[in-house]
Amino acid sequence: MPLELVTIPCLSDNYAYLVHDAASGETALIDAPEAGPIAAALSARGWTLSHVLLTHHHWDHVDGLTALLADHPAKVIGAAADAHRLPPLNTAVSEGDTIMIGRETARVIDVSGHTLGHIAFHFPDSKLAFTADSLMALGCGRLFEGTPAQMFDSLSKLAALPADTLICSGHEYTLSNGKFALTIDPDNTALISRMDRVQKARDAGQPTVPSVLADELSTNPFLRGHDPAIQARVGMTGAAPAAVFAEIRKRKDSF
């Protein structure tokens, strides 16, 4: 059986996630923006926290960890490359390493760009990828530390996952990301339709994440630098997709 997924709104626009293996009872948390909503989600389901998987060091992904662990001790896993600025880790991992949650193996992917040492966790059997602030719904994270080339490489890794993978990203930025996407790809009927669904979801107070990778591939401009229509739109017909990505990211920074 696949892992059970719970999406937990935190802070003003963050998300944490729980995955639960019913057979073993193991439950993993991905990122810890604040303790209260996560503890409430565990209590409501009667689950015992066994693992915490950290994607990167930014405060809005780790600040709830100390308070949470006080009542919910668990094994903390994070990037070896980021260990010097993460909370204390029980296990430090790098790209290609694997971890077990219950009976399922997750693969660690280096997705540096937003930060150096940012990692994602891919659970292939459950078709889940926890991407935090790398690949996001209709967008990607701002490049605080990495280069456009690094982020393009990271997004390319994620884009190569199976198209039915659920992309579990770290923030409720979809509506604003989509408004920008329409300036780059205004004639994309799939994007126009998706934005209608996103607006309705937000009007109803519903999350717009996780998203399906297939939808990102067809509507997220940061994954579409190869598209001739987008290349023409940004005045870069025939340019390398990585260069087109860099231009789109630059435009988003000032949007």
Structure tokens at 195: 């934005």
Structure tokens at 6: 């719970």
Is 118 annotated in a binding site? The answer is: no
Beta bridge partners of 177: none
Residue type for position 29: L
Give the pairing type, strands 75-79 and 91-93: parallel
Give the pairing type, strands 27-30 and 51-53: parallel
Q: Which helix (H) or strand (E) holds 15?
A: strand 14-20
Given the structure tokens 């996630």, which residue do they identify?
Answer: 17
At residue 67, φ and ψ (nearest 5 deg) are -65, -40
Q: Roughly what angle, to the nearest 10 degrees, separates helices 241-253 and 148-159? A: 110
CA torsion angle for 136, 142, 147, 148 (degrees, to 10)?
A: 60
At residue 93, φ and ψ (nearest 5 deg) are -125, 160
Given the structure tokens 């604003």, which residue do they identify?
Answer: 176
Q: Which helix (H) or strand (E) holds 62?
A: helix 59-62
Residue type for position 225: G
Beta bridge partners of 4: 20
Is 114 annotated in a binding site? The answer is: yes
Structure tokens at 65: 């960890």
Extract the annotated binding site for Zn(2+).
56, 58, 60-61, 114, 133, 171
Give the residue ranges of the annotated binding site: 56, 58, 60-61, 114, 133, 171
